[in-house]
Amino acid sequence: MIHELREIHHIVEKINQDHLHHLQDIREPVLIKINLSDNSHSYVEISRNGLRFVESHKEHHIKNQVILSFKDLKKLIDNPSNILRFVLNGRVNIKGNIKEILKVLEKI
C-alpha cells in the first residue's frame, strides 16, 4: 500500500507540473476515489487549482466522482484512450455528469 500511495503522489505531482494550465476552466471539481490493494482508499480532487489529496468526507460534497482501482489508474495513465472502454466494462465507475467528468479527465 505504501508503494501505491507513493506512486499516486508522484502521478499527482507530475500532472500538477505538466497540466495545471489546462485545468483553469474547470467549473466543478471531480473527486477520484482510488481503491488500494489493502481495501483502503485514496481521494484526489481535481479542480481549477490542480490536483490535491483530500479527506474521505469530500465524497459527500463533490457530486462528480470517478471510482477505480489503483491497477486501473496505472493502466489509464499509460493509455488514456481506454477510459471509455473501462467505463463500459464497469472497471471505472462514474457518478455525476459523465460529460463534464470526461471533459476534465481528457485535460489531464
For 28-50, write each residue's pLDDT tens digit: 999 999 999 999 999 999 999 99
Q: Among positive and negative, which fits the CA dihedral 54, 59, 62, 65?
A: positive
CB 95 within 8 A of CB 87: no
Q: What is the pTM of this model?
A: 0.91
CA distances from 4 to 15, 20, 32 (A): 17, 23, 15
**pLDDT band at residue 80, thresholds of 50, 70 and 90?**
confident
Report which secondary-structure segment, H or E, holds 101.
helix 98-107
